[in-house]
Amino acid sequence: MKIFTTLPEHAAEPTVLALGNFDGVHLGHQQLLRQGLAKARELNTHFSVLLFDPHPMKVLFPERKLELLTGKDERLLLFEKMGVDQVFLLPFTMEFANTTPEEFVEKILMKIGAVHLVVGFNYSFGSHGKGTPADLQKFGQDYHFGVSIVQAQKFENKVISSSEIRRYLLHGDIAMAKEMMGRAPTLTGIVGHGDGRGRNIGFPTANLETDADQLIPKNGVYAVTSVIDGKRYGGMMNIGVRPTFKSDADKTIEIYFFDFTGDLYNKKLTIYIEARLRSEKKFSGVEAIVDQLNKDKEHAKKTLQNI
């Protein structure tokens, strides 16, 4: 898969182009990508995705926390797995934010070489999001490109959307998030140094430092997996403030991997969240914590065996 960070200087090769933010690359996005790939094969051309970096909301509303489901690198990997040939990862600026819908078509889509667009039913574009899928169809008549509009995908009569998945994760409902994403939700970050307390009680943990804009699920204990040096390991993860030891601590993400020995410091890990085991608790002391962690370990192992 090729990644372009600038627009082509000369006439680009024709391509079917998927438009959207694709946060989460959930089942709705996957349906859109499948339709785009099918159209590209029908037209015997490339299949591309257009993304902006940084995320437009980061530029337009810098004071807001984005709570992203997937980072840029993970989205790119998922695109490649689904058969995308090219990604146009273009810079988003305040100047670009003032682009009119027609300027967006003429100066961006036409330069990319779009001969057919695939968008979701609620896609918007151009200054203040004024452009709609219906507008794209009108522009298509003038600029000679086709448009496919993918309708809402549903699970149990609920529309699959990134905002809905965020809501489930913030409530600790991993099962529903997995159903809508079509895979386990993830956390990605760099392993940093903790206070060593887990190692002292026989449960050495990797302390994950995530990007500030990444959504963190509800506090609690989770069954997880991760691929480390090419091998998949099961484990359990605690998200929370460790109330037994501190009353006003910042939220931490700690993962204890079963059967892993080695140094993880400064390593980038992607954690696959398979199930929520319990809420965070305050214990009477270290002995009670160790007893609960042993129970959590068995619970997590059984849960992962059944997935």
Each domain of the chain, given as residue ranges in start order, spans 2-155, 184-305
Least confident among 72-76, 212-216, 260-264: 260-264
* Mean pLDDT across 247-269: 86
Note the pLDDT of residue 196: 64
Judge if 2-155 and 184-305 fold alike in CATH terms: no
CATH code for the part of the protein at 2-155: 3.40.50.620
Per-residue pLDDT tens digits for 75-118: 999 999 999 999 999 999 999 999 999 999 999 999 999 999 99
Per-residue pLDDT tens digits for 205-248: 999 999 989 999 999 999 999 999 999 999 999 999 765 555 54
The pTM (predicted TM-score) of the whole model is 0.91
DSSP the chain: -EEESS--SSPPPPEEEEES--TT--HHHHHHHHHHHHHHHHHTSEEEEEEEES-HHHHH-TTS---BSS-HHHHHHHHHHTT--EEEEEE--HHHHT--HHHHIIIIIHHHTEEEEEEETT--BSGGG-B-HHHHHHHHHHHT-EEEEEPPPEETTEE--HHHHHHHHHTT-HHHHHHHHTS--EEEEEEE---SHHHHTT---EEEEE-TTB--PPSEEEEEEEEETTEEEEEEEEEE--TTT-SSPPPEEEEEETT--S--TT-EEEEEEEEEEE-----SSHHHHHHHHHHHHHHHHHHHHT-
- Domain at 184-305: CATH architecture: Beta Barrel (2.40)
Q: Say what percent of the chain tops pLDDT 90.
A: 79
